[in-house]
Structure 1
Amino acid sequence: MDFSFRLATSEDAAVIAKLVCQLTTEIGERAQIDHFDNDIKATCECCEQLLSQGQLNVLLAETDGVVVAMASYATTFALYVKGEMGIIQELYVEPTYRSQQLGQQLLVKIEQIADVQGWRAIELCTPPLPAFDNTLAFYQRHHYQAVGGRKMRKMVANN
């Protein structure tokens, strides 16, 4: 199966919101946690706003004109990498496409973006372990190394 890749525009907000909510629902169900607000309408509105303002980057994978995978990423800076770096916030492949190396292709595309942007590193956070040990193994096969700790969050505003 052939896939094409492109950067999202605000017109893609609905499909991105759908995929992100599928991702967070899957994480919640498999890890038996409830850390996410899966309000697809609010997610879509937020996504559309951030995309139209240029504050969100999303790489989409399509086949036959249908979006089947996505990876959102951001650029930031960190002293511990001595400069600019990228963070993959969400990476999701529809379950029926997971055996077709689409996740790997998304990572390669983001690594190409990293090269063009001059990033010194790419970071991401895996979903909770051990429920997602296979996800950790996927990233390790693609030369991502565990650097410790756990993802932490404190909600500070409700705008």
Structure 2
Amino acid sequence: MLALLDELCGDTPSGYDLSDLSATAAALLQAGDITALLADHAGQATGVLVLNRCASLYAGRFGEISELYVKPEFRSAGIGEALIRAAAAIARERGWSRLEVGTPELPAWARTAAFYKRNGFIDVGMRMKLTL
């Protein structure tokens, strides 16, 4: 996950600490707040998908992909697609109506948006945040 944050920050250090991220991940997993799917190749972690349970009046219960990361050297090898298929299977087992993902900033992340569209996602808007 640290590699994802570092990549998103570009030339600027992310400022995140691996031990802090590990502690947060452990707490969220233990509480059942998230489901994490890991991809590996020959015992080496190659990708991760983090899935959250959400609910709304318009969709009922659904899942949100809050993180999806594949190491650069393993991209275009089907790992991201496999993680999405696994997340969709979990969503169906849980009776969720859909999966959602935040819209990446365009044009900088056009390749990411195209990846999601190739995997069946459609545009329904974007998200904003209020930091508390």
> 1:58 deviation in Å?
0.2
- Matches for 1:4-153 after TM superposition, within 5 Å: 20-29=1-10, 37-81=15-59, 83-149=60-126, 151-153=127-129
Secondary structure of the structure 2 residue equivalent to 1:80: coil
Kindly indicate whether the alpha-carbon contact (under 8 Å) linking 1:73 and 1:86 is maintained by their aligned counterparts in 2.
Answer: yes
* Structure 1 letter corresponding to 2:54: T
After superposition, the C-alpha distances for 1:68-112 in whole angstroms (9 at most, x for unaligned) are: 10100111111122x110000000001111021110111111111
Kindly indicate whether the alpha-carbon contact (under 8 Å) linking 1:126 and 1:132 is maintained by their aligned counterparts in 2.
Answer: no
Partner residue in 2 for 1:14 = none
* Structure 1 letter corresponding to 2:119: H
After superposition, the C-alpha distances for 1:131-158 in whole angstroms (9 at most, x for unaligned) are: 1100000111111011113x322221xx
TM-score (normalizing by structure 2): 0.90
- Larger relative helix fraction: 1
2:12, 2:96 → 1: CA distance? 33
- Give 5+ residue unaligned stretches, structure 1: 1-19
> 1:33 deviation in Å?
8.2
Secondary structure of the structure 2 residue equivalent to 1:123: strand
TM-score (normalizing by structure 1): 0.76
Kindly indicate whether the alpha-carbon contact (under 8 Å) linking 2:52 and 2:66 is maintained by their aligned counterparts in 1.
Answer: yes
2:45, 2:51 → 1: CA distance? 17
- Give 5+ residue unaligned stretches, structure 2: none
